Every structure is written in C-alpha cells, then in structure tokens.
Structure 1
Amino acid sequence: MSHVLLAALLVASATATAQTSPQKTPVPESGTPASAQPAPATPAAPAVATPAPAAPAAQSAPAAPSELTPEMQAELDRRLEAAKQEMREEIRAQMATQSLGSDWQQEWTEEKRKLELFTLDGYFRVRPNLFYKFDLGKGRDTSLFPTRSETENTQAGANMRVRLEPTFNVSEEVRLKMQVDLLDNFLFGSTPDLTLDGGRNIFGIFSESQDSSASAVTALRDSIVVKRAYGEVSTPVGILRFGRMGSHWGLGMLRNDGNCLDCDFGDTVDRIQFVTEPFSGFYVTPMIDFNDEGATSQQVTGDAQRESFDYSNADDSHSYVIAIARRDTDQQAKDKLENNQGVLNYGLHFTYRTQRWEEENNTATLTFVPRDATLYVPDLWLRYEERMFRIEVELAATYGSINNRALTLGDASNPSQNQSLRVLQFGGVAQGEYKMLNGDLHLGLELGFASGDKASGFGYFQRSRTVNPNGRDVGLPQYQCGVGGCSDNAIRNFRFNRAYRVDNILWRELIGGLTDAVYVKPNVKYSLADGFDLFGSVVYSQALYAQSTPSTVNRSLGLEVDLGARYETEDGFVAGLNWGILFPMSGLQEAPNSAVQREFETAQALRGTLGIRF
C-alpha cells in the first residue's frame, strides 16, 4: 500500500502548493508591480501625462508559472480522486485481511482470494471397484455383506460423483457458500433407457443410453442434491456462520465433514455459530445445532400455500455446543517447523443436547412420545508436531439418559415398554508418525478403540439392519428389555464416524463403522517421486466383548492388509489404486450351536480412483 500513499501525498502536496502560491497581482499600466508602488496616504494627484516605460519582455508572459489553467486543475482533481479511490480499496482489503488473520484453521482459514463475485471449487471422481468373496465363504444366509448366491463370488462396477462448492462473494466481508453433489455415487449403467423407466427398450440388451436420474423413477436419489448452504460474515471480532454446513473436529473420529476425495459420508448440520479469538492463537466458538425439529406445519396440515414452521417446540432436539481451541494456522505451523520449533495444538469440543418429546414414526396421525432425554458429549483433541515426527490424539465420550424408551404413545404408559435407559460410551484414537529420508518415508502407528456392549450384534446401526432376507443382524439397539423389565438398560457401544477410515473391507464394508472393538494399525508411506506415493498398512481388529460377535464366544475379528499407490499433479488430476485382503478370524465364525460350520475364505477388494480437483 506504500506506493498508493506516496502517490496520494505527492498529489496532495501539488494541490497545496497551487493553493498557497501568490495570486496573480494586477500590473499597473506602468508595468511596475503594485507592491512596488508607494501607498499614498492622501488622494493621489492627477497623473502626469507621461508615457509609461515599456514593460520587460519577461513580464509580458500570459501567466505566472504558479497559475493553474482550468484544464490542469481538472486533470489534477481527476488524479487526486483516483488516488483516493485506490487508497480506500487498499485500506478496505487490508482491514479485511487483518480480520481474517485471526481465523480458526478448521473453520475458516482458507487462503483469502482477491475479491471475485463467484468462485468455484470441487472435484469429479470415478471409482471402479471389485469385491471378491465378501461373504467370507459363509454363504448368503450368514454373510455380513449382501450377496446374490453362494456361487457368485465377485461384485464389480464403477461409480461417479461431481461435487461443486461455489462461493458467492457479496463483498469482501459477506459470502454465501454451498455444496452440491451431482450423480452422487451413481453406478455406471444403473439408469438404462428401458420401457419400465419411460425408455424405448423392453430388454436391457438393447439399451444404448442412460436416462437422467430421478428419485423413485429411475434411481433412489435425484441427479442433483444440494447438501449444504450457509452464509459467512467477517466482522472485526470474528466470523459468523449460519445455515446448513459441514461439521468437523480433530481427527474426525466422531465429527467428520467427509470432504476427502474418496469419502462417501460426512456430517452436515443446521447450525448458527460464531468464531472469535479473544487471545492470540486461542479460539472460542459457541454453536447452536438444530438436530431434530420434529413435526412441521406442512407435514400436519399439508398446506403448501403457507410458510413452513415448526409445529411444536416440545419435540425439538437441540445441541448447545462450545469449542475452545489453541491452534496455529497452516503458515504459522510451517514457519515453526522450518525453524525447528515444535507445534502444539489442542482443544475441547463440548455438546449438551436435550429432547423432551419425540414425534412417533410410521403413524397416520400426529402423536408424540415422551422422551425426556439428555446427552453430554465431551471431545478432547491434541496434536504435537516437529519436523520429523507427529503425535495426534482424540478422546471422546457420550453419556446421559433416555427416561422413556417407548417407541409409540400407547407404549409410553406400559411398564414393560417405558423403562429408562442409560448411555455411557467412550472411544479414542492415537496416531504417531516418524519421518525419514528427508521426509520421503513416513513410518506410522495408529491405535483405536470404541467401547462395547455385551448385547448381541455389533450395534453400529441402532435399528435392526438385516443384510439378507435370512441373514444376520449387524445392527441392534444394544439394550435388552422385556415384560419383566430390563436385563440390560445401558447403551455402551461407542461408534466412530462412518467417514473415518480404519480399513477397506472389515469396518468399511462388512460392519459399517468401528464399534465395540480395538485395533492396531502400523502403516508406511513412501514418496517415490513428486506427487507419487506408495502406502500400506496392516490392521488387526478384536472385539471387546465376544457376545457381540457372530461367534458369541471369540473376540478376534481379522487381520487386514491394505496396499495402494496414488499419483496427483499440480493441475488437479488424481489417480489411485488400492488393494486389500482380509483374513477373517474366529470372532466372525458361526455360533457353536449353528447347524452348519464352514471354513473361512479370504476376502479381497480392488479399488481405483480417477479424479479431477478444481
């Protein structure tokens, strides 16, 4: 901004000089300046008719050097106004940059661009994949993965996604951000132009084209899904965000926005939040989340001509959240590491959530069930890093109570259906990484655990999820209550976020997410060339309670080996290949009282990724 100030000072100086220069003094006919004439004290005598001396040639010039013509004055005014305008824009941009300098990295530390009305980020990906013997050789009836028949061992295909993340810059301080997915995880060839779907062919063999996807017509979802939309306002004391946005904290074990190129899931919340920095490097973020508003006016009245509103506040579930963190920005952390300094970041994310009543599901009439539920969710995160190593830990817990477990209003007063439940869950993950060979070789170790429950089923899905019509439930409520009361009224199984990847087969595909288990994962990554990485890991998983496994008597679940390669260019092209093999263990075997006992077979997965970031 120095060159703008200098220009403004020069212009201002020229203006001042012009305004303070002696004004052009009238020259008497004698040609002598008036200041040189004696000031008569008495009326002057009549002038003597004497010819006046000729004026010097220099005094006959049309204007003094200090005089500005109208054209010169107009040009000077124009330049001065332009300099002022440029200076105003520079100051406004500098103030905006300074206000963003205190941004919290996880929430709003993306590098500020020169103001443009519209910017667009995102990616396009195509993922071919091949699954082999995901039934582990157990057949269709006892498999943890949906299979067509015992003789069909291979499932293969490809899917795609286009993710658009536009930003509308209303000004340097006010922005509207969105996330829109197109053809989200649509399988190649899943919408052929058949007569059943309004196409021209009866037999699929004649299909030459794919129809546009329409929910409940040609696919289970629409071609375009608006996932997030929120406003962002920069103020001198922090950032205000409001709308539907992603939620992420720490390593993403519990809260994960799912923004990675290979992610399928992610947390999206309706939230109002404000991020401020009361002390340098310390950030405080109060938030209000609207988790479940229950019945709406349109649901009750069906009146599309009226503005939709919350029909009752009694059935709302809201979260009151406070996040306090000590964080360095990316640039600050980079500078410290380059100067051989350690980088220590840490924080606490605490949630308090309540719900008094809950709308009854699957009913033709609107009814409410008393719930009287309360949850407390503390989440601690710490990261320490130096040039050659990194240690990162996240620990979280969920505890509280549900004072009435009834699912219908009729059962709310039934002593065998309205018992209270206790919630006590905890989990954690720790990652360590050591760098060698000038940072090209990374040796790592990851440990993770999620509390479990002795109830049958892994419990990752609270509502029963049957894989096959005659298959096994991999998700159960994890409490056991009946007419005589509750033999187990506690929900103890902690659940990792589905977007947090532990492996490629066991937890990602067969069970759905980590719960009721502990795992050990040594891993390695080597940068073979700029942008080209090779990586691998070995994951050993074991249940905390044998009663929750398919075997009901053994805890060992499996040993999985995952290998991969990834290539990424500076202009956004990404290509990757991953191969995994799972060696199942006794915990996945049939229960001892099963009529049929079969030998395990190893499962394998081959995944490819082709993508373009922009």
Structure 2
Amino acid sequence: MKAFVFALACAALCAGCPRFHPGPLPGAPTDATFVDVDGVHVRYRELGQGPAVVLLHGFSASLESWAGVAPVLAQDHRVIALDLKGFGWTTRPEGDYSPAAQAELVWHVLDKLGVKDVAIVGHSWGTSVALSMAVAHPERTRRVALYSAYVYDEQVPSFLRWAQVGGIGELLFSLFYTERIEDRAPLAYVDERFVTQPRVERVEEDLARPGTVAGALATARGHHFAALHQALVGFDKPVLLLWGENDLVTPIRFAYRLREELANAELKVYPRCGHIPMVEARTSSTRDLVAFLADKGAQHDDNGNADNAEGSGSAGGAGSGSGDDRGVTGDQGGGGAGGGARGGGTATVLPVETRRLTPAEEDFALPLGADLAALGAELTPRQYAAPREKTEVVVHGSLRIREAGLYNLDLDRGLDAQGQPIYPVPLGGGQMMRAGDLRARTDAAFYAPGVGVAVKARIDWLDNIALGGEPDLAGGSPATSRGQRPTTVVIKRAWGEVLTPAGTLAVGRMGAHFGLGIAANGGDCEDCDGGDAADRFAFVSPIAGHFLALSYDIAARGPFTPSRDGGHPISLESTTAVGGPTVSILKTHSPATLVRRAAAGLTSVEYAAYVSRRTQDNDVPATYLPTATQMFTSADLVGRGFAATATGGWLRISGARFRIEAEVAYLNATLDQPSLIPGTAITVPVTSSQLGAAVQTAFTFGPMQLGVDAGYASGDDAPGFGAFPTPGQVAPPAGSFDGAQANPPRDRTVDNFRFHPDFRIDQILFREIIGTITDAVYLRPSMRATLARVGTGRLEAIATLIVSRAVEATSTPSGASALGTELDPELRYAARDGFAINLAYGLLLPGAAFDGTMLAAQPAQSLRLRVGFAF
C-alpha cells in the first residue's frame, strides 16, 4: 500500500496541481456570445422575447443541458442560458466559486443585459445558485423552478467531501475527476438509451478544457449549504420542484424535505426518471415548467397551499396514464397512492416516460467479482452519488440442469502403457454412459447505507449434484427410494468492498478471472463447472484512462491447529504459506459502454496485462498426501524453495459487427527441492517454462456470425499429456495417456501449459477425454445463425469444427501428433426473460495419436441437453 500511495503522489506531481485558466478558452464556437463581468468572460445564449427566464446548469455541465427546453420557453419568454464560472466556455479564473459568488456573477450578467426581474430555473448544483440568487434579490425574482435540487450538505458525495481537504483535493481531482465518464454518466439516467456516445464524448471534451479541473475543485469546496437554508426562512416566492422518482444523485427524499422547508413550493415527480428530467422526462417536465412560468399550473388556497391542476393525490405512488418524450403531446391524469406528502404543497407523480434499456450483449458480460476491472467500474460511480438511505440487497441467480449421453469415449483403442483405458468404461462392458447434474446458484450483494460499502457472496445451494444422486434409502435400496437426501450448501465466494477516495478496496474470497480465461477463469459461463476463487486483498484505482489493480493472494497455509477455545484455526508454520502479489493494468469498457460505442459506429480497443509472483519456502506434504495425519511435528517439515512468476496480456478489438479477442500467458517456475518425503532430499531443482495463447474472432453478417478461433498450449516431451498429475505419481512409461511430466534427476522440466478446464472449445476431446487443453494446438472455425425469433427470445443454430494436433508427439499414447477432428452442432433457444435451452451433439473422429498397439481408435459421440433459468 505504501508503494501505491507513493505512485499516486508521483503521478500527481507529474500531472501538477490543477491550474486555473483566466483567459478565453481556445476552440470556442464561432457563434458563441460572451459578456465580460467582474473579470470573467461569460458565455451566454439568448432566445425569444417576453418576461426574462435565466437557466442555470449543474455541476460539470453547461448551457447545452437546456437544449431541449430553451426553444420551448422562448415562444413566450426571453430565455437567457449561460455557462457558470468554471464550466462550459466561460473562463476559469482563480477566485470564489461558491453558490453565492456564482449568484452574484449571474445578477451582474443580467444587469449588463438590461434584465430587471427574472424567473430563475436551475438544475442539480445549479439550484443552489438559483436559490442564492433568489434570497439575495427577492425583489427581482418572480419565481423559481428547481430540477433535482442539490442544496443539502447530506447530498454531497464522499469524493467531493474528501476533495474539500487541502492537498487531498488537488490529488484526487488531478488523478480521478475526469476518469470513467462512460461509467459515471449512466448514474444520472434510468434508461441508459439516453446515455449516447456523443453525449459521453461531449462531457469528456468539456472536462478536457484548460482550467476545468481547477474550477470544478473550487466549486466542490463551495458545497456548503447551511447559510443558504438559513436565508430561505421566510422566502415566499413560488417555487416549482421537478424531480425524477429514481434519481440516484439527488434521491427523492430530498424533494419532500425541500418542499417542507419552502413556504410556497409545488412538487412534480416523474416515474422511471433519473437525475435529468429535462432530458429523460422532457415533454412532461417542460410542459409543467411552461405552465408554472405562465402561472397557469397552480392555484392557491387561503392557506397558501398549491392545488395541482393536472391531478390530485400525494407522491409515493405512480400515477396512471401515458406520456413520452418522443412525440406524445399530453399526459392523462391520475392520482398517486398515498404516503409521503404533507405540509405546504402537493406532489403529483406523472406517467412513465420510457422503458429500460435491454441488457448488454452476452459476448461482453462478466459477473462482478470475477474481474478486478469490473469490480472497480461498479463502485466508481458511487463517488458521485448521494448516500444510500438504507441497506440495499441485489440478488441474481440461476438454476441449471444438464443431462448427457457419452458414447465410446474410451475410443475402443484398448489400454494404454499403464494398463488403463483412456476414459472410464461402463461396468457392464457397453458403450454408453450417462451424466446429469443440477446446480442452483445465487449471487447476492448487500449495499450498506451511505456510499460505497458492499458485502457480496456466491452461494451454490446445489453444487453440480448428480441427477439421481444421494437417493433416500429409507426403503432399503435405491429401487425403493422416495427421492433425494438434502445436500450441503456451498459458499464459494464472500468478500467485502469499500470505496475510498482513490479507488476500491476489496478483501475476502472473490472470483479470479483474466481475459479469455485460459489461465485464471472465474467459471461464470453457462456451462462452466468450477471457477477460481482467491483469498485476496485487492485495490483497484481508475487512473489515466485505465484501471491499476494491486492484489495479494493467500493461496495456501497450514497445517493448522485450533485455538485454545476452538474459535479459529492457527497456522503451525508461517514458512509453508503460499502466496504473493499481482500487479495489473487494464483498459476496459463496461458492457453497456461497448454496446453504446458499437451503436455509434466506433471501434473499441481494450487491453490488459499482469505480472504475478508466488512463493513457498517450506512444505508439510503430510497434510495432503494419502497418508496424511492429524498430528504434525518438525520432522514433517520439508524444504521447498518454490518460486513462480506468471505474466500475461489480453487484447480485445470490437465493433458493431466484429470482435477479435486474444490472450497470452507465460509461466516460469523453479522448485529447488521436489521431494515429498521428509528427510529425503532431491538436490536437483525442477524448472518449468510454459506458454499458452488463444484467439477468438466473430464477424456478423446479417443473421449469421462467422468466426475462426485458435489456441496453443506448450507441451513437454515426457510421456502422457500431464493434464492432471497427482502428488507422488511416478513417471509413466512411453505410450501412457497421462502422468507426471518430471522424473528427477533425469527429467527436471514441466513445460506443458494447461488451459483452465472451464475454457471450453469442444464437447468431447478436450472437455471429456483429456479434461483440458494441454500440449496441443487447435484451429476452430465456427458459424452461428439466427433461425427464428420466438416470443421474447431467438432460436439459433451453431456449428463448430475443431482440428487439433499435439505439440509434443511423445506425449500421446501412440507417439503420433494428430489428435483428431471434432464436429459439434448445437441448437440454442434463449429468451430475454432468463430461460435458455441447449441441445448439443458432438462427433469426434480421433487421430492417429490415440491408436492402440493393436486397435485403431474409433469415433466417439456425445449428446447434451442443458436447461437454464436465470434471474
């Protein structure tokens, strides 16, 4: 952690402290109009004639926020929209950026434009400027409209609170203020279709202008609103509050609170709308604003309470009717359900404006906790969100049922050199074997009140339990079983996350995944069985358009002894611990961002690299050998001297109609003392140098997708594939199917790279017979076509051809290189509501590598059915 803090400090020094920019900004639009006031070059835009209305944007925004509102207001008003100091095209001089100072600047601009009285409209942080203007000159203020008001100290997010501390603010804003706009932007919307790529790029361009970071920091340090609320006591001008019911930046509870504090306030609430009602609920909110400014939307009773002309009832429930920002001209009335409205005004909940964005494409999806970049991206937006009021629980899960028929997977080639078949054979001597299993999985996330604290877990209620397994034998035999016995629940992951000013800290047992998953694989795919979970301390920070991830894994410890009270285990020897650090740098986009960029015709380039180190000084083989005991002494301790370094890279280039993705991994290790027997030393070290690589491609042509994949896993010249060696296994003779790859002191290398078993490319050879991709090179062309759209889903046909060869011919049972050719057709139906069903057939034509001494290898077949339910 010290090294990370030092790196951040160095980066900040290199970047320099945020600098103001007092002069005109380069590149301003040629049609932009400016007025010079108090040493500030203020950009403004003026439309229409009539009573004056001034529009004030929010934090990190500009007058462009009102593009859909200003032309409508200009039909009956003189509309003046401006860029506040520090934002848009207005200059960024050093000075006071508090709401009161901004309000004074706006009044001076209005003075220069000859405006005497005005209606003030503000959005988000701009509402604090609007109210500051109103209380400073109530005699010049006709009325005030506030969109998603940001006027309470409790609304200030943790990132901006930390930034108010001298020195820390400069560091945080220099490093992080402009980071991950693509992830932060969706926080303002319910419907992410409004988060268009041009809109994201415009925000990024605005933030890149000279002096913007310094101006934003100065503005953040003015986020103190207590004095404003004191000044609002007795303020009785008409106020309209316009609020999105699903606002995450300024939650709806602040709307009710503000309405209570203001003497003459009316509240409009828009369902399925986030932080920007003038965009996401443009038609309805603009209509309400026009009526309010014309004083046609509300009548007042003798008590000063506003009666709504469009409907009755209090906020807290959704009104009925319809409305749409894309052409519907009117709302149909309706009252909301009771609850939450009281005091000096009314609240009307208006109809739903739009529907949700459909989920991102499956090609880009990756569950949180499986990937450090996803972990960082998920909590990064919370830096800019208001605190949660209560604990939130988010649950996702799935139920998977699989049934398979496996025919002749021993290839009828006889026994290998060790007298074993290459695959289990039926007890009765037939050809067919069956396999079926059931998995029920839940991924749960618990978000604490406040900002950026979460606890997450993966729970498998049924963990690949065999169909028909664990029969109830109350009747005396399986034949009279009445069902299955209960099984043990398995908690595979449990970890906590906390958002710090500089990034996300995660601690616990969490998923481990990188790139395509050839080395580290979280096992999160539909057909995966295992998956890696690491006991890890991790810190992820967004910096310079990338994620910097630092982690330390504790892979193994032991042996253990219980504490005196039996409450926790204690490791008997610290030098037997296995673990080490990992440093990675990642440039990634979220799934929604990739879909958005593809829709805009952009090509996305993502990449990542890592270096990982793992060591172990000593070992106690008695803890894991078949002869393991529960009592350990110093005589069980064996010197090990293990050190390994893994490095890898990942690249993905994708667009609307293509995806090219690749991963490479290299592992180098040294084992100084490979003996497993205490007191017996092997003085010649064993070394390992392994290389693995995989490439995936997909090109879309209408309803069809074509691709060519390839992969390479380095081999070792020892007999056997070395896919699943066991401790203490002796070196196999030539002609063996599997076995240990090292045989000290003669053979001191283990160079076969083993792909993760959950990285699957076929149905039979690597998935079932060998068990993983190792000591092989393969080519895999594929085709996917949409046959029909049925209901909420689509029916697809998939065909894959896999041709593979051994890297080291001496590893195969026959000494030949050709592993075989496999054809895997598949039918798949997947619905958007979470239901999916797959029927996959596999045909393996084995190559000469599997021929026996007397018998040639024969074809193998498989037929698999998978049914899935996701929520």
**Which secondary structure does the structure 2 equivalent of 1:145 belong to?**
coil
1:436-451 correspondence to structure 2 within 5 Å: 436-437=701-702, 440-451=703-714
Return the match for 1:373 from 642, 659, 682. 642
**Contact preservation (8 Å) 1:7, 1:83:** no
The structure that is strand-richer by fraction is: 1
Return the match for 2:680 from 407, 411, 419. 411
Describe the shift of the 1:252–1:176 C-alpha distance in structure 2 as closer, same or farther (beyond 3 A). Answer: same
Describe the shift of the 1:210–1:81 C-alpha distance in structure 2 as closer, same or farther (beyond 3 A). Answer: farther
Describe the shift of the 1:236–1:528 C-alpha distance in structure 2 as closer, same or farther (beyond 3 A). Answer: farther
Taking the aligned partners of 1:251 and 1:370, their CA distance within structure 2 comes to 36
1:379-410 deviation line (CA, Å, top 9, x unaligned): 01111223332221111111121111111212
1:176-575 correspondence to structure 2 within 5 Å: 176-194=455-473, 200-213=474-487, 223-279=488-544, 281-298=545-562, 303=564, 305-361=566-622, 362-364=627-629, 365-366=632-633, 367-412=636-681, 417-437=682-702, 440-463=703-726, 474-481=737-744, 486-530=745-789, 531-551=794-814, 553-575=815-837
Describe the shift of the 1:473–1:208 C-alpha distance in structure 2 as closer, same or farther (beyond 3 A). Answer: farther
Per-residue deviation, 1:224 = 0.4
Per-residue deviation, 1:318 = 1.1
**Which secondary structure does the structure 2 equivalent of 1:332 belong to?**
helix
1:413-436 deviation line (CA, Å, top 9, x unaligned): xxxx34211111111111222221
**Contact preservation (8 Å) 1:139, 1:150:** no
Matched, 1:589 2:858: no
Describe the shift of the 1:268–1:8 C-alpha distance in structure 2 as closer, same or farther (beyond 3 A). Answer: same
1:55-114 deviation line (CA, Å, top 9, x unaligned): xxxxxxxxxxx9999xxxxx9997128999x9xxxxxx98xxxxx9xx964434459899
**Contact preservation (8 Å) 2:845, 2:859:** yes
1:607 counterpart letter in structure 2: R
Unaligned stretches of 5+ residues in structure 2: 1-57, 59-121, 141-232, 237-255, 268-273, 276-367, 730-734
Describe the shift of the 1:235–1:532 C-alpha distance in structure 2 as closer, same or farther (beyond 3 A). Answer: farther
Residue in structure 2 matched with residue 62 of structure 1 by the alignment: none
**Contact preservation (8 Å) 1:271, 1:287:** yes
Describe the shift of the 1:527–1:465 C-alpha distance in structure 2 as closer, same or farther (beyond 3 A). Answer: farther
1:443-478 deviation line (CA, Å, top 9, x unaligned): 111111111111111101121799xxxxx9644220
Describe the shift of the 1:156–1:110 C-alpha distance in structure 2 as closer, same or farther (beyond 3 A). Answer: farther
2:855 counterpart letter in structure 1: R
Describe the shift of the 1:11–1:380 C-alpha distance in structure 2 as closer, same or farther (beyond 3 A). Answer: closer
Per-residue deviation, 1:19 = 12
Per-residue deviation, 1:16 = 7.3
**Which secondary structure does the structure 1 equivalent of 2:680 belong to?**
helix
Per-residue deviation, 1:191 = 1.5
Taking the aligned partners of 2:429 and 2:693, their CA distance within structure 1 comes to 40
Residue in structure 2 matched with residue 26 of structure 1 by the alignment: none
Residue in structure 2 matched with residue 107 of structure 1 by the alignment: 375
**Which secondary structure does the structure 1 equivalent of 2:472 belong to?**
coil
2:668 counterpart letter in structure 1: Y
Return the match for 1:598 from 855, 858, 862. 855
Taking the aligned partners of 2:578 and 2:264, their CA distance within structure 1 comes to 55
**Which secondary structure does the structure 1 equivalent of 2:670 belong to?**
strand
Residue in structure 1 matched with residue 448 of structure 2 by the alignment: 170
Residue in structure 1 matched with residue 429 of structure 2 by the alignment: 151
Per-residue deviation, 1:348 = 0.8
Q: How many residues align?
A: 512
Per-residue deviation, 1:157 = 4.2
1:426 counterpart letter in structure 2: L
Describe the shift of the 1:474–1:313 C-alpha distance in structure 2 as closer, same or farther (beyond 3 A). Answer: farther
**Contact preservation (8 Å) 1:576, 1:610:** yes
When the two chains are superposed, the root-mean-square deviation of aligned CA atoms in Å is: 3.3
Taking the aligned partners of 1:142 and 1:312, their CA distance within structure 2 comes to 39
Per-residue deviation, 1:441 = 1.3
Taking the aligned partners of 2:766 and 2:264, their CA distance within structure 1 comes to 63
Residue in structure 2 matched with residue 54 of structure 1 by the alignment: none
Per-residue deviation, 1:235 = 2.5
1:143 counterpart letter in structure 2: P
Taking the aligned partners of 1:377 and 1:77, their CA distance within structure 2 comes to 56
Describe the shift of the 1:68–1:288 C-alpha distance in structure 2 as closer, same or farther (beyond 3 A). Answer: closer
Residue in structure 1 matched with residue 114 of structure 2 by the alignment: none
1:572-613 deviation line (CA, Å, top 9, x unaligned): 1111111111111110122x4xxxx22332111111111111
2:553 counterpart letter in structure 1: D
**Contact preservation (8 Å) 1:429, 1:447:** yes
Taking the aligned partners of 2:800 and 2:478, their CA distance within structure 1 comes to 42
**TM-score normalised by the chain length of structure 1:** 0.77
**Contact preservation (8 Å) 2:135, 2:235:** no
Taking the aligned partners of 1:68 and 1:430, their CA distance within structure 2 comes to 66
1:486-536 deviation line (CA, Å, top 9, x unaligned): 221111001101110021111111111011111111111112234322111
1:522 counterpart letter in structure 2: P
1:80 counterpart letter in structure 2: E
Describe the shift of the 1:352–1:6 C-alpha distance in structure 2 as closer, same or farther (beyond 3 A). Answer: closer
Unaligned stretches of 5+ residues in structure 1: 21-65, 70-74, 87-92, 95-99, 195-199, 214-222, 467-471
Residue in structure 2 matched with residue 51 of structure 1 by the alignment: none
1:540-562 deviation line (CA, Å, top 9, x unaligned): 111111211111x2111111111
1:287 counterpart letter in structure 2: S
1:585 counterpart letter in structure 2: G
**Contact preservation (8 Å) 1:130, 1:605:** yes
Greater RCO, CA 8 A, separation 6+: 1
Per-residue deviation, 1:122 = 1.2
Taking the aligned partners of 1:5 and 1:411, their CA distance within structure 2 comes to 73
2:542 counterpart letter in structure 1: E
Greater Cα shift, 9-18 or 340-349: 9-18
2:722 counterpart letter in structure 1: G
**Contact preservation (8 Å) 1:11, 1:76:** no
2:400 counterpart letter in structure 1: R
**Contact preservation (8 Å) 2:373, 2:547:** no
The structure that is helix-richer by fraction is: 2
**TM-score normalised by the chain length of structure 2:** 0.55
Residue in structure 1 matched with residue 304 of structure 2 by the alignment: none
Taking the aligned partners of 2:579 and 2:851, their CA distance within structure 1 comes to 42
1:422 counterpart letter in structure 2: T
Taking the aligned partners of 2:844 and 2:855, their CA distance within structure 1 comes to 17
